[in-house]
Amino acid sequence: MFARWNEVNGDDKFDIHCKSEASIGSRIKRERCVSNIWAELDEKFAQAYLGGLRGETGAPPGFWLGQQSYWASKLREQWYRVGNEDAGLRETMRRFGQAQEALDRLAPSRRSVSSVAPSEALVGGAKRAFNVTAGRTPWKHKLENRSFVLTTPAGGIQGFTVTCQSVTEQLEYQPNSEWTIPDDYGTCRLQVNATPSTVFTLYEFE
């Protein structure tokens, strides 16, 4: 979908690219998709923040956050306009919407943890999938694969912890992100902290 968008949107600053990156202090990567203008303003925000710590003059960090909000609204306007005009982009958006609906339909109706049959629910090359309804205590799970995705149709995931043989990392939940654990972390367990009755699905990928 983003590849088609980048071909037809007519402005390079609105092109969207995805990359895997780790947050500060972590080696666990997640995929993040942002426009060229958002990435550029991210850098300017960071420079302004560091400049303020050093006592330098210039636009404050909040100015660049405001610019991000402005250009995000411009990107949305462009997205809807081009989506209405370009049949190729419209078709990729339709397929993306169908995929999102398929994920949402996997939500269980009972308070349990259940393995999902591959013939019914393994999507996008996933090796394992589990439907979960959160209880009063965090849900714990042994990961058999190095990458995973957590999806929830209604929110409620507060964060999660990855505990491996040599390291433990607490991570902030980000929707629509794929997380990848370095091979040298060894065997890992996932602990998901969520509001009781939160419904989510875990997908594991190689």
Quote the radius of gyration of the chain (alpha carbons, Å). 20
Give the Cα separation of 148 and 150 in Å (integer). 7
Helix or strand (DSSP H, E) at 121: helix 118-121
Last residue of a domain, one of 49, 78, 102: 102
The pLDDT score that the predictor gives to residue 61 is: 87
User: At which residue do the structure tokens 């983003």 appear?
Assistant: 2
Asked whether residue 125 falls in the same domain as residue 37, the answer is no
Residues 132 and 191 in one domain: yes
Helix (H) or strand (E) holding 205: strand 199-205
Q: In this structure, are 113 and 192 located in the same domain? A: yes
User: Which tokens in the block code for residue 194?
Assistant: 């969520």
* CA angle at 31 for the pair 30 and 33, rounded to the nearest 5°: 140
| pLDDT computed for residue 23 by the predictor | 75
pLDDT at residue 115 in the model: 41
Residue 142 belongs to what H/E stretch? Answer: strand 139-143
Q: Point out the domain boundary residue: 61, 82, 102.
A: 102
Query: Are 89 and 115 in a shared domain?
Result: no
How many whole angstroms separate alpha carbon 50 and alpha carbon 45? 9
Q: Are residues 121 and 194 in the same domain?
A: yes
Q: At 152, which CATH number?
A: 2.60.120
Reading the block at residue 51, the tokens are 């400049």
Is there a single domain that holds both residue 136 and residue 171?
yes
Phi-psi region of 19 (alpha: psi -120 to 50; beta: other; left: phi over 0): beta
Q: Which residue has the tokens 């390291």?
A: 167
Q: Do 13 and 76 lie in a common domain?
A: yes
Residue 106's pLDDT is what?
56
93 and 162 inside one domain:
no
Number of compact structural domains in the chain: 2
The single-letter code of the amino acid at 177 is: S
What local confidence, expressed as pLDDT, does residue 103 receive?
Answer: 66
Say if residue 87 is in the same domain as residue 111.
no
**Using CA atoms, how far apart are residues 38 and 22, in angstroms rounded to an integer?**
18
Per-residue confidence (pLDDT) for residue 119, from 0 to 100 = 35
Residues 6 and 95 in one domain: yes
Residues in the chain, pLDDT under 50: 108-119
| Domain identity same for 139 and 164 | yes
Domain boundary among 102, 129, 152: 102
- The whole domain housing 48 covers 2-102
Together in a domain, 71 and 29:
yes
- Reduced to 3 states (helix: H, G, I; strand: E, B; else coil), residue 106 is coil
